[in-house]
């Protein structure tokens, strides 16, 4: 939705999409989507894809060093702003703004402070389609589900409709910006745990594999 709105803004020209990938598995970091599907998505959108490849479990220093290296490269190519779809997490917004300012770039947040239910409603009304590919451990039944009008009604209390708190992540596979939909089938569903910083409880997430398919 952030991309949808900024493409209508004559003050900006979108030059590329930037995505971090787990170099050990060739999958989108945290989301778990295969690189091949990510490439198809960018091709269907008609926007060049810039990949930032990271170790499987990078620490913050490694993450920030790699991001700075890639962003400095893009800055040298004439990029001035980075666009984000953040909605209401003020600390994350401030982090992005501060880190970009350190290297002379600016952050833009086209969806900031909008109601999350309204954003999802607009997303669906425009004809976009997305599937949950990763969900926190108590949302197993939602992992692998295509989001529709009944999705919000089925969510447990306290879960943000857009997954803004990290409750779930999705893969958008069709919509008005796409030249053609991305075709896939559902593969294996797995549960993975990750150590949390500062002695917090270990966090667990369900992942469903999206397997690339072709249409004859």
The confidence score (pLDDT) of residue 215 equals: 62
The confidence score (pLDDT) of residue 169 equals: 98
Contact 170, 129 (CB under 8 A): no
Structure tokens at 147: 């989001």
pTM over 0.95: no
The confidence score (pLDDT) of residue 39 equals: 98
Contact 137, 204 (CB under 8 A): yes
In a domain, 121, yes or no: yes
Distance CA 174, CA 141 (A): 22
Chain length of the chain: 216
Q: Which portions of the chain are predicted below pLDDT 70?
A: 196-201, 215-216
Measured from the Cβ of residue 213, the count of other Cβ atoms closer than 10 Å reads: 9
Q: In what order do the strands lie in the sheet with 17-22?
A: 27-28, 17-22, 49-54
The domain of 195 spans: 115-216
In a domain, 137, yes or no: yes
Query: What does the buried/exposed string (b/e) look like for 134-153 if buried means 16 or more CB atoms within 10 Å of the residue's CB?
Result: bbbeebeebbbbebeeebbe
Nearest CA to 44 out of 146, 171, 177 is that of: 177
Please calculate the CA angle 170-171-173 and round it to the nearest 5 degrees. Answer: 140
Distance CA 131, CA 171 (A): 5
SS3 97: helix
Beta bridge partners of 189: 208
Residues 6+ apart with CB under 8 A from 17: 42, 45, 47, 48, 49, 50
In a domain, 36, yes or no: no
In a domain, 68, yes or no: no
In a domain, 104, yes or no: no
The confidence score (pLDDT) of residue 198 equals: 58
Total domains in the fold of the chain: 1
In a domain, 87, yes or no: no
The confidence score (pLDDT) of residue 150 equals: 94
The confidence score (pLDDT) of residue 199 equals: 56
C-alpha distances in Å from residue 141, one per residue of 82, 90, 104, 134: 34, 30, 43, 11
In a domain, 2, yes or no: no
In a domain, 92, yes or no: no
The confidence score (pLDDT) of residue 30 equals: 87
């Amino acid at each position: 939705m952030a991309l949808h709105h900024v493409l209508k803004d004559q003050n900006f020209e979108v030059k590329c999409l930037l995505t971090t990938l787990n170099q050990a598995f060739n999958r989108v970091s945290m989301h778990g989507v295969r690189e091949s599907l990510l490439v198809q998505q960018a091709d269907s959108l008609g926007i060049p894809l810039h990949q930032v490849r990271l170790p499987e479990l990078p620490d913050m220093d490694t993450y920030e060093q790699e991001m700075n290296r890639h962003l400095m490269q893009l800055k040298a190519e004439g990029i001035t702003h980075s666009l984000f779809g953040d909605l209401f997490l003020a600390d994350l917004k401030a982090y992005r703004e501060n880190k970009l300012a350190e290297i002379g770039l600016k952050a833009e947040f086209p969806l900031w402070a909008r109601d999350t239910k309204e954003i999802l409603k607009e997303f669906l009304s425009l004809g976009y389609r997305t599937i949950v590919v990763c969900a926190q451990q108590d949302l197993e039944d939602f992992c692998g589900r295509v989001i529709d009008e009944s999705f919000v009604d089925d969510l447990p209390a306290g879960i943000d409709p857009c997954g803004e708190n990290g409750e779930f992540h999705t893969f958008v596979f069709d919509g008005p910006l796409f030249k053609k939909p991305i075709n896939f089938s559902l593969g294996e569903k797995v549960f993975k745990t990750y150590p949390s910083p500062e002695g917090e409880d270990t966090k667990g997430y369900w992942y469903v594999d999206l397997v690339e398919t072709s249409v004859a």
